[in-house]
Amino acid sequence: MCDTVHPRRSGIASGKLLFALVVAFLLVPLFGTSAQAQRTLKVAYMKHPIQDASFEMLEKWGKANNVTIVRIATAYEVFFEKVTQTLTSGGDQYDLVWHNDDWGQNWQKWLEPTDDIPNMKDVDRWPVAVIFANDDGKDTVVPMVHTLGTFFYRTDLIKPSELPKTWRELVTLSQRLQKSGKVKWGFVGGMKYPHTWFTLLWSMWSNNCDILKPFDERDNKKLAAAGWESGMKERCNQDVAEFWWDAINVHKITPPGAVTYSRTDANAIFQAGDAAITMADSTFYGDFNDPAKSKVAGKVSFASWPVGPKGKSPRAWNEIWGWAIPKGSKNKALAKQALNAMLADTEGQIAMWKATGGPPPSLKVQAQLRKQDPLFGVLMAATIDRVDRKGDFHSAYYFPEWGRVHKEYSDIMIEAISGKREDIPKVLQGGHDRIHKAATGG
């Protein structure tokens, strides 16, 4: 048989090939090339209204720029460990990860610097500069929201003029409301690790106290020079343990099961209308004020922490949640474009505040809200405006062993509160060396 190609068949084949190439060319704008198909950002996050609101901004930008935002949800309790494994292995499983000040320093060497994102010029440097800086002093985060620990109170039960300024006034007000049958509990908050901020930590800091000495210090070099010394033997920490012991057992303004409560447990009690006051991040305002989720919707506002016997004036923290870019990501430039757009999205940031109570990352948007929204002004007065920017106080420590120290502190305090009142000093004394050991990696 002759192997010569028939001219007519060859022409047909060439025509088919040309037609296929034309069709493929015409379909490129619709479906993209293989390179365009890779325009995807995979994001590790914890399911939370704030992150959902941030996703709305990212996804709006993504839709306009042909970028798919893929959400990869992970539970809070295992988030840090799981993402750390990916970061330290150099994996490209994520292009963006939720970043929290609790572990700001733990991740810095595995994250892409973000100083070159243009709209970072509009963010508050206080909660970013020290906590999220790498060894070269460059930022490794882009803020999505400010997290402010604040008292939430029932406006239908408590007038602004009645808000407690001291622990003693908190007890008196709570008992009055309980005796009148208005609520079951005066105050409720999360206590078990890692929800310690909502009872033990805010009260410790409002009593001019801290876990390590020198108090309020967050410079790791100074903490090391002081020998990573625990503050558990100090009278101010005994004040804290005795206050919560009495709140549960004597004054009965707090549920007896509080030592086992997460913030979710405490929030549920407040939303059910069974407590007059709770302490939480302002970002839970959206849940508290949602009629579908809360019986106290429309009856909630913000207040400062009352001070302890050694406290001089109300305190507050001003920290952030943010997004970070793993060095292992193959889409770093695209991720930076997305985050730059998020910081410029005034409409999206205002919508986030209105839906959740989360203060926007842009100082320009914050200034706009102060003029337009009285409730935003109330929150700022209770929190950010009370932050002492001349001091070093932040709502966590920023060294690799902080997680162990936090856990140890929580265990010690709950052990003290769960036992006999007269044994509190002994338990705290015994916890002194445990804190030091945890801080030094022993």
Task: Tell me what pLDDT residue 295 has.
Answer: 98
Q: Is 190 exposed, middle or buried (0-12, 13-18, 19+ CB in 10 A)?
A: buried
The model's pLDDT over 90-103, given as tens digits with 9 standing for 90+, comes to 999 999 999 988 88
Task: Tell me what pLDDT residue 175 has.
Answer: 98
Say if CB 376 and CB 384 are below 8 A apart: no
* Cα 241 to Cα 246: distance, rounded to the nearest angstrom: 9
Do 36-140+319-382 and 149-317+394-439 share a fold?
Answer: yes
Task: Tell me what pLDDT residue 425 has.
Answer: 98
Exposure letters 225-258 (e unless 16+ CB within 10 A, then b): eeebebbbbbebbbbbbbbbbbbbeebbbbbeeb
Q: Check the CA dihedral 301-307-313-318 and report its sign.
A: negative
Share of the chain above pLDDT 90, in %: 84
- Name the amino acid, one letter, at 292: A
* Cα 383 to Cα 390: distance, rounded to the nearest angstrom: 16
pLDDT band at 390 (very low <50, low <70, confident <90, very high): confident
Q: Angle formed by the axes of helices 332-344 and 49-64, to 10°?
A: 110
Q: What is the mean pLDDT of residues 18-34?
A: 40
Task: Tell me what pLDDT residue 26 has.
Answer: 40
Reduced to 3 states (helix: H, G, I; strand: E, B; else coil), residue 145 is strand
Say if CB 410 and CB 234 are below 8 A apart: no
Tokens in use for 440?
Answer: 């030094």
Q: What is the mean pLDDT of residues 201-222?
A: 96
* Cα 265 to Cα 69: distance, rounded to the nearest angstrom: 31
Task: Tell me what pLDDT residue 139 has.
Answer: 96
pLDDT band at 411 (very low <50, low <70, confident <90, very high): very high
Full-model pTM: 0.86
The model's pLDDT over 152-196, given as tens digits with 9 standing for 90+, comes to 999 999 999 999 999 999 999 999 999 999 999 999 999 999 999
Share of the chain above pLDDT 70, in %: 91
Tokens in use for 268?
Answer: 């549920």
Question: Is it the case that residue 140 has pLDDT exceeding 80?
Answer: yes
- The CATH architecture assigned to 36-140+319-382 reads 3-Layer(aba) Sandwich (3.40)
Q: What is the mean pLDDT of residues 302-307?
A: 98
Question: Is it the case that residue 23 has pLDDT exceeding 90?
Answer: no
Question: Is it the case that residue 379 has pLDDT exceeding 60?
Answer: yes
- The secondary element (H helix, E strand) that includes residue 322 is strand 319-324
Question: Is it the case that residue 285 has pLDDT exceeding 90?
Answer: yes
Residue 393 CB partners (closer than 8 Å, separation 6+): 205, 216, 218, 315, 317, 387
Question: Is it the case that residue 15 has pLDDT exceeding 50?
Answer: no
pLDDT band at 1 (very low <50, low <70, confident <90, very high): very low
- Using only C-alpha atoms, the chain has a radius of gyration, in whole angstroms, of 26
Phi/psi at 307 (nearest 5 deg)?
Answer: -95, 155
Q: What is the mean pLDDT of residues 73-88?
A: 92
Say if CB 407 and CB 193 are below 8 A apart: yes
Q: What is the mean pLDDT of the chain?
A: 91
What ranges do the domains of the chain cover? 36-140+319-382, 149-317+394-439
Task: Tell me what pLDDT residue 413 has.
Answer: 98
* Cα 356 to Cα 285: distance, rounded to the nearest angstrom: 5
Tokens in use for 264?
Answer: 């979710």
Tokens in use for 92?
Answer: 């490209």
- The secondary element (H helix, E strand) that includes residue 69 is strand 68-73
Q: Angle formed by the axes of helices 346-356 and 363-372, to 10°?
A: 60
The model's pLDDT over 44-80, given as tens digits with 9 standing for 90+, comes to 999 988 999 999 999 999 999 999 999 999 998 899 8
Task: Tell me what pLDDT residue 388 has.
Answer: 83
Paired with 42 in beta bridges are 70
Cα 61 vs. chain centroid, distance in angstroms? 23
pLDDT band at 266 (very low <50, low <70, confident <90, very high): very high
Q: What count of residues does the chain have?
A: 442
Reduced to 3 states (helix: H, G, I; strand: E, B; else coil), residue 210 is coil
Higher-scoring residue by pLDDT: 103, 429: 429
Task: Tell me what pLDDT residue 27 has.
Answer: 38
Name the maximum alpha-carbon separation found in the chain: 107
Question: Is it the case that residue 85 has pLDDT exceeding 50?
Answer: yes
Task: Tell me what pLDDT residue 21 has.
Answer: 41
Task: Tell me what pLDDT residue 19 has.
Answer: 42
Tokens in use for 34?
Answer: 């293989």
Tokens in use for 180?
Answer: 């009148």
Question: Is it the case that residue 246 has pLDDT exceeding 80?
Answer: yes
Question: Is it the case that residue 39 has pLDDT exceeding 70?
Answer: yes
Q: What is the mean pLDDT of residues 283-293?
A: 94
- The secondary element (H helix, E strand) that includes residue 106 is helix 104-107
pLDDT band at 333 (very low <50, low <70, confident <90, very high): very high
Task: Give the residue from 442, 437, 417 showing the smallest Cα distance to 428.
Answer: 417
Say if CB 394 and CB 319 are below 8 A apart: yes
Q: What is the mean pLDDT of residues 11-16?
A: 42
Question: Is it the case that residue 258 has pLDDT exceeding 80?
Answer: yes
The model's pLDDT over 340-359, given as tens digits with 9 standing for 90+, comes to 999 999 999 999 999 999 99
What DSSP line would sit under 36-60, residue for residue?
Answer: GGG-EEEEEE---HHHHHHHHHHHH
- The secondary element (H helix, E strand) that includes residue 378 is helix 374-382
* Cα 79 to Cα 45: distance, rounded to the nearest angstrom: 8
Q: How many helices (H) and strands (E) does the chain have?
A: 16, 9
149-317+394-439 carries CATH number 3.40.190.10? yes
* Cα 71 to Cα 77: distance, rounded to the nearest angstrom: 18
